[in-house]
Amino acid sequence: MPDALEIKGLHKSFDGVEVVRDLSFRIAPGEIFGLLGPNGAGKSTTINMVAGVTRPSAGHIEVFGHDTRSDYRTTRRLTGVMHQEIVTDNFFTIGQALQFHSGYYGVADDPAWRNLLIERLGLGPHLGKPMMKLSGGLKRRFMVAKALIHRPRLLILDEPTAGVDVELRRTLWDFVREINRDGTTVLLTTHYLEEAEAMCARLAIMNHGRLVALERTSDLLACLDGRTVVLHLQRPLDTMPAELTRLGAECRPEHAVLSIPLPKDMTVIELLAKLHRLNLPIVDLEVRRAGLEEIFIELTGMERGGREVKA
């Protein structure tokens, strides 16, 4: 059985600037695979090349063993893409758009499947409206339905939950899991790292067009077993006590938040005893396990809050 997606030595330059550099990875049939990276890393460009809307400068892409260039009609039919940008089409109502859309892929309309998508994505009450009249969350749900209308075997979701409320995100991911259980392979990008951690068995992380990690999510997380004690203070510290500096504490003064990596040979209670002696104005305390965010920051040189750290 061929891979659901195979990317080999992919490059893309715009006006002489290389934004995807020698990218290679494979996705097995049935996987939910996450492609992560900071803004501008090259994720959407990669997805656009898989979808056949952007031409690679070099390299090959195969979808279930079919080349996206020489066998474009087949790969287009096998792939469903929800792009990041919302492109509104106001000529049709969304009900009509869903009815006609599978025809673009040479696939006959399947009313039972269409109705299932409408029902599961909560689009029923809105079928008579043009896309322009939908709220942002509904537009995204409609775009998911449109990506799935021709029953693709590879579903690509480029930031499907950007700007979507918590409840809708949950129902959307439940639905993606269900589609996946029924055999659809999923490639997704998201800036919500906890979603990637929960959804994806394997993750690729891109930075400046290159792959900087490609691992099972559990293996990525296993390399970080540290814990951080986070203290919320009543007011910012004027100066950092030397003892905290020695422990590698970081302070976000504007928020009066102090993060202290728990040394391997110390228990939380022992650390708290040390802190007690410093008489800090502590109002709240949490113990955080290292997660995907730490790995992401380490591999991409990002600071917490999304700013890139200049080398």
Cβ atoms of 41 and 84 closer than 8 Å: no
Only segment of 41-49, 113-121, 171-179, 269-277 that touches ligand ATP (CB under 6 A): 41-49
Residue 83's contacts (CB-CB under 8 Å, 6 or more residues apart) are 44, 47, 48, 51, 143, 158
Based on the shown chain and the rule CB under 6 A, indicate whether residue 43 belongs to the binding site for ligand ATP. Answer: yes
Based on the shown chain and the rule CB under 6 A, indicate whether residue 45 belongs to the binding site for ligand ATP. Answer: yes
Smallest distance, ligand ATP to C-beta of residue 81, A: 13
Which residues inside 59-98 make contact with ligand ATP, applying CB under 6 A?
84
d(CA 158, CA 170): 16
**Given candidates 2, 9, 24, 39, which one binds ligand ATP under the rule CB under 6 A?**
39
Smallest distance, ligand ATP to C-beta of residue 84, A: 6
Based on the shown chain and the rule CB under 6 A, indicate whether residue 56 belongs to the binding site for ligand ATP. Answer: no
Nearer to ligand ATP among residue 84 and residue 228 (C-beta) = 84
Based on the shown chain and the rule CB under 6 A, indicate whether residue 163 belongs to the binding site for ligand ATP. Answer: no
**Given candidates 4, 31, 33, 44, which one binds ligand ATP under the rule CB under 6 A?**
44
Cα dihedral 250, 228, 202, 174 sign: negative
Based on the shown chain and the rule CB under 6 A, indicate whether residue 37 belongs to the binding site for ligand ATP. Answer: yes
Based on the shown chain and the rule CB under 6 A, indicate whether residue 162 belongs to the binding site for ligand ATP. Answer: no
Based on the shown chain and the rule CB under 6 A, indicate whether residue 160 belongs to the binding site for ligand ATP. Answer: no
Cβ atoms of 169 and 132 closer than 8 Å: no
Q: Per DSSP, what are the bridge partners of residue 279?
A: none
Which amino acid makes up residue 78? L
Binding mask 8-27 for ligand ATP (x = CB under 6 A): ------x----x--------
Binding mask 123-142 for ligand ATP (x = CB under 6 A): --------------------
Which amino acid makes up residue 213? A
Residue whose structure tokens are 């920051």: 297
Smallest distance, ligand ATP to C-beta of residue 263, A: 35
Q: Per DSSP, what are the bridge partners of residue 207?
A: 210
SS3 4: coil
Smallest distance, ligand ATP to C-beta of residue 180, A: 22
Residue 226's contacts (CB-CB under 8 Å, 6 or more residues apart) are 261, 262, 264, 289, 290, 294
Query: What does the DSSP 8-state code read for residue 132?
Result: G
Q: How many residues bind ligand ATP (CB under 6 A)?
A: 11
d(CA 75, CA 66): 6
**Given candidates 6, 11, 13, 40, which one binds ligand ATP under the rule CB under 6 A?**
40
Cα dihedral 55, 56, 57, 62 sign: negative
Nearer to ligand ATP among residue 84 and residue 180 (C-beta) = 84
CB-CB neighbours of 231 under 10 Å:
21
Give the interface with ligand ATP as residue ranges (CB under 6 A).
14, 19, 37, 39-45, 84
